[in-house]
A = this chain, B = another copy of it.
Amino acid sequence: MKGIILFGHGARNPEYTAPFKRIRATVEALQPDVPVEVGFLELTQPPLEATIECLVSRGVNEIKIVPIFFAPGRHVLKDLPELIGNAMDRFPGVEFEVAACVGEVDLVIDAMAAHAIAA
């Protein structure tokens, strides 16, 4: 079974999770059968490790991680692969895939540009 994790940096501000919840709700509306969870690198709960564990406990064995980052920096290029490496050791039967950062995607770029013009 497939599952999706929206991976964010984390922040002190509790409002920070709002866009993640909205993305999750939109994905769930479009694909009701695919579990979608959020997980963070630091500061915000739950950590990515806990989110992976949660999905695996629900029978997910193909996890696509979508970095909700504007660009792939150290957190996406170094911290995320380390976290995934640990998860692969822990859950050898689970396949992991990392999608492009949202800020690398044409559709997202176009949407941000439209907002800059319309706002």
Contact = CB atoms under 8 A, between A and B. Distances in A.
A66 interface: yes
State the main secondary structure of chain A at its contact with B. helix
Given A109-B23, A111-B111, A70 B8 contact: yes
Interface in A1-59: 4, 6, 8, 11-13, 15-20, 22-23, 26-27, 30-31, 36
Interface residues of A, number: 45
A6 B70 CA distance: 13
B105 A111 contact: yes
Contact of A108 (B4, B12, B111): B111
Indicate how many identical chains form the complex.
2
A119 B99 contact: yes
Interface in A64-119: 64, 66, 68, 70-74, 99-100, 102-105, 107-117, 119
25 contacts: A12-B74, A13-B73, A15-B71, A15-B73, A16-B70, A16-B73, A19-B104, A20-B70, A23-B113, A26-B109, A26-B113, A27-B113, A27-B116, A30-B117, A66-B116, A68-B112, A99-B115, A100-B119, A102-B111, A105-B111, A107-B111, A107-B115, A108-B108, A108-B111, A111-B111
